[in-house]
Structure 1
């Protein structure tokens, strides 16, 4: 597959985009925030939302409602979720429910524009084994025994969500090993499986979850468990800096081709990214992988978002295009997060499992607009300056 490398920013990884926004669709919404305030949310009417098909409405609502069991303890969403349990699965009933219980807010970037970047991700499948062999010799590690994680907000509440990772040496917490050291020397951690290609492991870490195809037909599902505490640095950037690839030519395919042509330099390539992801096994099922909200993702209707802007569990209205230029307008559920997914108007659409989904995800680099549907009478998250639509 010739997949743009920046699109391999799995939502659970710490990948950073390599490209800027492309010219794209206009969702048909003309509301503008007042210029006297930089608003994250702009009040909008239901009439401002672009039309969606009945099938997309049903699927998007079902995806959002699937997380209500997780949201029952969330004061913002619990009453709405409780009411949603009794809604019949008909377009008319769903539209009536949404308009009765939710208000519409257009997301805005810092400079006031409604347009942002919509990318894609997926769940890859790689060949592997539960035992080490001459062919299967690349370990997929679980969480190391000596990895220490400190939740900084336990001492400093203003650092909510921030964690410090390392290992204890004597009485001192030292940074954990970087990826190059782990790749070369190993780590004190359980081995969940063995892969055949070090590049498969790198791409699996970037995506943050995936399946390992075992002999006999079984697939082992794994997902992000933790990380070594070092920042992610795209290996594609290193290839550009080395003069091996041009920035515009950096794709998963071109990186993989370079690695196959330069096998002795693969350790050097991988060491350029200090970040290392550890995994845990997940139950075998036909469900999608679980995102940050710990509910199965729905192909085409779950997105990763910047949780500083959009709280997990929120229902969004997405207007963008597919890679071939076709309109893509539908409600989607905010059920995942990722280091690459930052900004007021930003979403990463989950496309599903396998190569076909990977092709769609890899080519997805579109401009789009997002509206957040928020419970009536509930204060907006972070309470930014809110502008009235004109």
Structure 2
């Protein structure tokens, strides 16, 4: 996720009551960078990975929040099987914001765009050194969650059931210090003068709005006053700086559900429509957006992550930048009921809940299918970074 985005969500019961959103909200419960947290809040155990056999070829390097240990290429499980052509567009995006450490490598990345997969892999082995990422205590097992970009129907003006606003930053708000809570913003007449005229669009369901707040960005199929429907993106602009509180945890702590799986939450919502507002107001954090055009040539890209480049579905991750710098290519291995992957990804985003050495948030894409994936992911992972052989580690 970035300054904008938003974390994954089964408790989405709070969403459009679409299965994808329902699944999403649960996972969303932990977030990215300045975005709202978006980490799955479930009681489901993380899945187990096979024991890692590591063969260090040099001393570990201490980073601020992790240890990087150089290993041979043979340590990377599944490297020969990955289709690097699918990852290359994400790497090209990172090269748009390359630091001095990567300028020379990025020149070669661009030259290899049309190269075969075998040529790409041979070049990587020659130019880059893999490092196993571990926690400071030496543990290499971390946690993977996932996030996505919701797609929702909206209207430019209120009416016909569209009565839940999405706001730009409030008038006069500088982003410093805590502002009004979600309950005050939605329920107090004294706050409305700061928000009047700041509406971007209107949704039908307050839970849909919460999903956008948790994810940090989304696509709107927006009906204009003249009847045209255009697709736009609402991206993260800021928050009220109130603490994030998990809706799923709120339900669990009150014994309103036995687990935070989407079926349980969905059933609770159906049975308790009168308590939905109470549940939503249990999270005081509120997110403000900015509207971005989404022309046809950009619709194949996700929102911009913290690195400042568009995210690529299934090839972009959010990381703790104290452990892994933005733009770093990463080898990811995870195993679970939803994702069993060994693939090249790029560190292009971050999140307030994405903290720790071996911690990643996997950008699943946009729409219902991506929401179904993102809402279910909470599982173990291993990470390996790649670094240019002729460049000193930062």
1:373 aligns to 2:383 (yes or no): no
Task: Pick from 47, 50, 70 the counterpart of residue 23 of structure 1.
Answer: 47
* Equivalent position of 1:60 in the other structure: 87
* Equivalent position of 1:319 in the other structure: 333
* Equivalent position of 1:275 in the other structure: 285
2 CA distance for matches of 1:260 and 1:218?
Answer: 32
2 CA distance for matches of 1:100 and 1:338?
Answer: 33
Per the TM alignment, residue 320 of structure 1 is displaced from its structure 2 partner at its CA by 1.2
Per the TM alignment, residue 16 of structure 1 is displaced from its structure 2 partner at its CA by 4.7
* Equivalent position of 1:127 in the other structure: 153
Classify 1:177/1:148 alpha carbon distance in 2 versus 1 (closer, same or farther; 3 Å): same
2 CA distance for matches of 1:134 and 1:97?
Answer: 57
* Equivalent position of 2:347 in the other structure: 334
Q: TM-score scaled to structure 1, two decimals?
A: 0.82
Unaligned runs of 5+ in 2: 1-18
2 CA distance for matches of 1:23 and 1:269?
Answer: 29
Task: Pick from 27, 34, 40 the counterpart of residue 7 of structure 1.
Answer: 27
Secondary structure at the counterpart of residue 83 of structure 2 = helix
Classify 1:56/1:220 alpha carbon distance in 2 versus 1 (closer, same or farther; 3 Å): same
Residue correspondences, number: 353
* Equivalent position of 2:10 in the other structure: none
Secondary structure at the counterpart of residue 70 of structure 1 = coil
After superposition, give the CA deviation of every residue in 1:53-102 in whole Å (9 maximum; x if it has no partner). Answer: 5662221233112221122xx22222221232222431232123222322
After superposition, give the CA deviation of every residue in 1:171-218 in whole Å (9 maximum; x if it has no partner). Answer: xxxx31111111213552411110111111111111111112234543
2 CA distance for matches of 1:366 and 1:257?
Answer: 25
Secondary structure at the counterpart of residue 334 of structure 1 = strand
Report 1:36-47 matches (<5 A).
40-47=67-74
* Equivalent position of 1:169 in the other structure: none
Classify 1:40/1:6 alpha carbon distance in 2 versus 1 (closer, same or farther; 3 Å): farther
Task: Supply the RMSD in Å over aligned alpha carbons.
Answer: 2.6
Report 1:242-281 matches (<5 A).
242-246=254-258, 249-252=259-262, 254-281=264-291
Per the TM alignment, residue 119 of structure 1 is displaced from its structure 2 partner at its CA by 1.6
Classify 1:7/1:31 alpha carbon distance in 2 versus 1 (closer, same or farther; 3 Å): farther
* Equivalent position of 1:51 in the other structure: 78
* Equivalent position of 1:344 in the other structure: 357
Per the TM alignment, residue 257 of structure 1 is displaced from its structure 2 partner at its CA by 4.4
* Equivalent position of 2:180 in the other structure: 177
Report 1:276-291 matches (<5 A).
276-284=286-294, 285-286=298-299, 287-291=301-305
Secondary structure at the counterpart of residue 166 of structure 2 = strand
* Equivalent position of 1:297 in the other structure: 311
CA contact (8 A) 2:313 2:365 kept: yes
2 CA distance for matches of 1:255 and 1:139?
Answer: 24
* Equivalent position of 2:137 in the other structure: 111
Secondary structure at the counterpart of residue 100 of structure 1 = helix
Q: TM-score scaled to structure 2, two decimals?
A: 0.81
